[in-house]
A and B are shown apart, each in its own frame.
Chain A
Amino acid sequence: MNYLKEFTKGFIKENPLLVLALGMCPSLAVTTSAINGLGMGVASTFVLFMSNMLVALLKNVIPNKVRIPAFIVIIATFVTIVDLTMNAFLPDLYKALGIFIPLIVVNCIILGRAEAFAQKNNVLVSMLDGLGMGLGFTMAIFTVGSIREILGNGSFFNVKFVTEDASTVLLFIMPPGAFITLGYIMMLMNKLKSKLY
């Protein structure tokens, strides 16, 4: 088993958001700024890493017929941990991400990796897979957030680089901008993939 390959496949080749089109809802909803995108990405990566590890550890104990509910309970537990921790230590980010923190539970990436990867592989590889996929997702969602913040707000990580009264492309921080930005990023990804592979 090639550990490096399992780790890096989530970056470009099987990028969960840009190639597999999983985890669309949070990537469109919370990416109004770079920091929100980063926060959502890190939170999802943590849940993905921990749930992949636990599923791989418990794969021989969980009966096959009730595996999906069991996976959901595992995922929901870690989501609750993230929810409470973020509420306590990062209240601003928590408010910005809002309902999409509890909704990490139904992020298809996480259940998808548990079902398709972690329950068939050993703990170490599953952890690498979770981390790699999570980082791939974080990079993608951070890119969407950065583009939307730069174009829509004229700032990056809340540092403004245009004058206060400059008119920015407000469309990009509104809902339509999310769809359009992600659409064009996926198009570039298609182009890149057809060149690379």
Chain B
Amino acid sequence: MDIVNIIILALLVNNVVLAQFLGICPFLGVSQKISTSFGMGAAVVFVMTIANLFTYLIFNFVLATFHIQFMQTITFILVIASLVQIVEIILKKVSPPLYQALGIYLPLITTNCAVLGTAIIAITQNYNLVESLVYAISTGLGFTLALLLMAGIREQLELTGVPKAMRGFPITLITAGMLSLAFMGFAGLVK
């Protein structure tokens, strides 16, 4: 598949949050302010790319070599969990400013299904290493885009009078539905 196609598909048409429903928890949880959602988005792009690199190598050179592909789920989740820990430790040592910026979001990412989902999708789609990395980066950017849009809307929503029963999750979900509806307009962008 063409690289440009992968980027447009992952970023807009099949947006990871609004069309594929991956990473809903952080999408609802961290989208209150634009600044925090930017930090979360950056952390997701970072971890997703590294996770796809490692899961690609492990799947093709370890699991496929020994014909134990059924171990995929267990292996991937452990790899991602330990990867997040390692990234956190290294960042703390090597780049304190970056750690300051991403630090609090990193532990949250272990349970972010978007990371595991992206790794599994890249394997099932038979992407090669370059495609897999491009896919991870654009999916991460798509996540950031959705998060930023949502945060922008929610900052405005704070100022309006929402009925009591609708406050919190219900109004956020319905807003997300409207966003998702808008994103369906991208459907014809690639063949």
Binding site for B on A (CB under 8 A): 21-22, 24-26, 28-29, 68-69, 72-73, 76-77, 79-80, 83-84, 99, 102-103, 105-108, 111, 171, 174-180, 182-184, 186-188, 190-191, 194
Q: How large is the interface on B (under 10, 10 to 19, 20 to 34, 35 or more residues)?
A: 35 or more
Q: How far is the CB of A185 from chain B (nearest CB, A)?
A: 8
Q: Is the CB of B170 within 8 A of A190?
A: yes
> Considering the complex of A and B, which 6 residue pairs feature the smallest CB-CB distances, nearest first?
A179-B177, A183-B173, A29-B21, A183-B174, A180-B177, A24-B24
User: Which of B40-48, B74-82, B129-137 lies on the face that meets chain A?
Assistant: B74-82
Report which B residues bind A (CB closer than 8 A).
18-25, 28, 70-74, 77-78, 81-82, 111-113, 116-117, 120-121, 124, 164-174, 176-178, 180-181, 184
The reply to whether B170 and A76 form a contact with Cβ atoms under 8 Å apart is no
Contact A108 B173 (CB under 8 A): no
CB nearest neighbor in B for A22:
B25
Q: What is the bound-complex CA distance between A194 and B72, given in angstroms?
A: 44
Complex: A29 Cα to B174 Cα, angstroms: 15
B77 is contacted by which of A29, A105, A178 (Cβ under 8 Å)?
A105
| A188, B164: Cα distance in complex, Å | 11
Q: Is the CB of B73 within 8 A of A79?
A: yes
Main secondary structure of the interface of B (DSSP, over half): helix
A84 touches B174 (CB 8 A): no
Asked if B181 and A99 sit within 8 Å, CB to CB, the answer is no
Cβ distance A17 to chain B, nearest Cβ, rounded Å: 10
Quick one: which of B20, B23, B28 has the most chain A CB within 10 A?
Answer: B20
Would you give the shortest CB distance from A77 to chain B, in whole angstroms?
A: 7
- Could you say which of B28, B71, B124 contacts A24, with CB atoms under 8 Å apart? B28
User: Closest Cβ of chain A: how far from B7's Cβ, in Å?
Assistant: 20
In the complex, given contacts A175-B184, A186-B170, what are 7 additional A-B residue pairs having Cβ atoms less than 8 angstroms apart?
A28-B24, A29-B22, A73-B74, A83-B73, A103-B22, A106-B111, A183-B173
A186: B residues at CB distance < 8 A: 169-170, 173
How long is the Cα–Cα vector from A191 to B168 in the complex, in angstroms?
Answer: 13
Given contact pairs A111-B111, A183-B173, A187-B166, A76 touches B74 in the complex (Cβ within 8 A):
yes
* CB-defined A-B contacts under 8 Å, sample of 16: A72-B78, A73-B74, A73-B78, A83-B70, A99-B121, A105-B73, A171-B181, A175-B18, A175-B21, A175-B184, A182-B173, A183-B170, A184-B174, A186-B169, A187-B165, A191-B165
| CB nearest neighbor in B for A28 | B21
Name the B residues within 8 Å of A107 (CB-CB). 113
- Do the beta carbons of B25 and A194 come within 8 Å of each other? no
CA separation between A76 and B75, bound complex, in Å?
A: 9
Task: Return chain A residues, CB-CB under 8 Å to B116.
Answer: 102-103, 105-106
